[in-house]
Amino acid sequence: AQSVAQPEDQVNVAEGNPLTVKCTYSVSGNPYLFWYVQYPNRGLQFLLKYITGDNLVKGSYGFEAEFNKSQTSFHLKKPSALVSDSALYFCAVRDVYSGAGSYQLTFGKGTKLSVIP
Amino acid sequence: NAGVTQTPKFRVLKTGQSMTLLCAQDMNHEYMYWYRQDPGMGLRLIHYSVGEGTTAKGEVPDGYNVSRLKKQNFLLGLESAAPSQTSVYFCASSSQDRGYGQNYGYTFGSGTRLTVV
């Protein structure tokens, strides 16, 4: 079974400060990891993914995430937060060998990011 | 623009009524999914499909039925709506993962907000 934990329901950060949104995962094999963002009354939008290779992944809107296999973490980061980054962020995982020809992502419960002007 | 389209965007039902939510994608994706999003619960998979004519149960399938008669469409049905089905419903699609990690994750629709009174 695969699972994702986002330990913080809400993260508040001042505009211009660095931000981190935490994610830990559990899979039986190797993971594919994703971050999605949801703005109010919108669907989820893809931000970035880790499949293999470099542990530091860069994505849309200046976001990046670091894959840490020993800590089973995939934290989302941005060096300087913008008010427009305020949204709901979801981490998702899939076991590389989930099999059955399907491609099911398991999502975390989401973390609400509020960037304060 | 290419993507996933959900109809309707909003709906209010009375307990016991039935309705069908339509999801259409124009990206020729093999896989399609229905999720529900509830506060504090994240995204939960209701049903999914790995190809035309095939469907499978997800995490919370009770009270819902689905059909995938055409590759581009995935329908979610509520036969007898209950207040517990008040939620925001998201459809998503993804291309077939051929094992090389080239899948870029899901593309989501903008959601259907359903209220059952």
State the CATH number of the domain containing residue A88: 2.60.40.10
Contact partners, residue B99, CB within 8 Å, separation at least 6: none
Q: Provide block-wise average pLDDT over 10 residues at a time, chain B (117 residues).
A: 89 97 93 92 91 92 96 96 96 73 74 96
Range of the domain at A27: 3-116
- Which strand (E) or helix (H) includes residue B80? none
Give the pLDDT of residue B95.
81
Q: How far apart are CA A92 and CA A74, in angstroms?
A: 10
Residue B79 Cα distances to B29, B82, B84, B88, angstroms: 27, 10, 14, 17
* A45 in contact with chain B, both atoms CB, cutoff 8 A: yes
Min Cα distance A69 → chain B (Å) is 17
* A88 in contact with chain B, both atoms CB, cutoff 8 A: no
In this predicted structure, which of A20-24, A32-36, A95-99, B107-111 has the lowest mean pLDDT?
A: A95-99
Domain count, chain A: 1
Min Cα distance B108 → chain A (Å) is 6
Give the pLDDT of residue A96.
67
| Other beta carbons within 10 Å of A4 | 24
Q: How confident is the model at residue A41 (pLDDT cuts 50, 70, 90)?
A: confident
| Other beta carbons within 10 Å of B90 | 24
CB B23 within 8 A of CB B91: yes
Per-residue model confidence as pLDDT tens digits over A42-81 = 889 989 999 878 899 999 899 999 999 999 999 999 999 9
